[in-house]
Amino acid sequence: MDFGISPQFEKTLNDIQQFVEQELYPLEPEVGTRGFRATLPKLKAAREKVKKMGFWCPQIPKEHGGMGLSLMEHGMVSAVLGRSMLGHYSFNCQAPDAGNMEILLEHGTPEQKKTFLEPMLKGEIRSCFAMTEPEHAGSNPTWMDTTAKKDGDDYVINGHKWFTSSADGATFSVVMAVTNPDAPPHQRASQILVPIGTPGFKIIKNLSVMGHVGEDHHSHAEVRFENCRVPQKNLLGKEGAGFQIAQERLGAGRIHHCMRWLGICERSFELMCKRAAERELAPGKPLGTRQIVQAWIAESRAEINASRLSVLEAAWKIQNQGQLAAREEISCIKFYVAGVLLRVLDRAIQVHGAMGLTNETPLAAFWAAERGARIYDGPDEVHKMVVARQRLKKYGVQVATAGA
Q: Which is nearer to ligand FAD, 164 or 300 (CB)?
A: 164
Q: Which is nearer to ligand FAD, 132 or 179 (CB)?
A: 132
CB of 373 to ligand FAD, least distance (A): 8
CB of 174 to ligand FAD, least distance (A): 9
* Type of residue at 16: I
At CA 176, angle to CA 100 and CA 202, rounded to 5? 95
Which residue of the chain is nearest ligand FAD when measured via CB?
138
CB of 187 to ligand FAD, least distance (A): 19
CB of 379 to ligand FAD, least distance (A): 4
Name the 3-class secondary structure at 42: helix
Which residue pairs, CB below 8 angstroms and at least 24 apart, start in 85-88?
85/28, 85/31, 85/218, 85/362, 85/365, 85/366, 85/369, 86/24, 86/27, 86/28, 86/31, 86/43, 86/46, 87/20, 87/24, 87/260, 87/263, 88/260
CB of 130 to ligand FAD, least distance (A): 6
Q: Which is nearer to ligand FAD, 164 or 268 (CB)?
A: 164
Provide the β-strand partners of residue 194: 173
Helix (H) or strand (E) holding 205: strand 201-206
122 vs 251: CA distance, rounded Å = 25
CB of 378 to ligand FAD, least distance (A): 6
284 vs 277: CA distance, rounded Å = 10
CB of 123 to ligand FAD, least distance (A): 19
Q: Which is nearer to ligand FAD, 177 or 312 (CB)?
A: 177
In this structure, are residues 153 and 201 in contact, taking their beta carbons and an 8 Å threshold?
Answer: no
CB of 369 to ligand FAD, least distance (A): 7
In this structure, are residues 174 and 241 in contact, taking their beta carbons and an 8 Å threshold?
Answer: no
Q: Which is nearer to ligand FAD, 88 or 220 (CB)?
A: 220
The residues binding ligand FAD (CB under 6 A) are: 96, 129-132, 137-139, 163-165, 220, 372, 375-376, 379, 381-382, 385, 402
Q: Which is nearer to ligand FAD, 13 or 402 (CB)?
A: 402
Q: Which is nearer to ligand FAD, 19 or 367 (CB)?
A: 367
DSSP code of 400? P
Q: Which is nearer to ligand FAD, 39 or 164 (CB)?
A: 164
C-alpha radius of gyration, the chain, whole number? 22
* Type of residue at 239: E
CB of 197 to ligand FAD, least distance (A): 19
295 vs 258: CA distance, rounded Å = 24
Which residue pairs, CB below 8 angstroms and at least 24 apart, start in 203-212?
203/167, 203/168, 206/168, 207/162, 207/163, 209/368, 209/372, 210/367, 210/368, 210/369, 210/371, 211/368, 212/368
Q: Which is nearer to ligand FAD, 135 or 280 (CB)?
A: 135
Is there a cis peptide before residue 379, judged by omega within 30 degrees of 0?
Answer: no
- How do 235-236 and 280-282 pair as beta strands? unpaired
193 vs 230: CA distance, rounded Å = 8
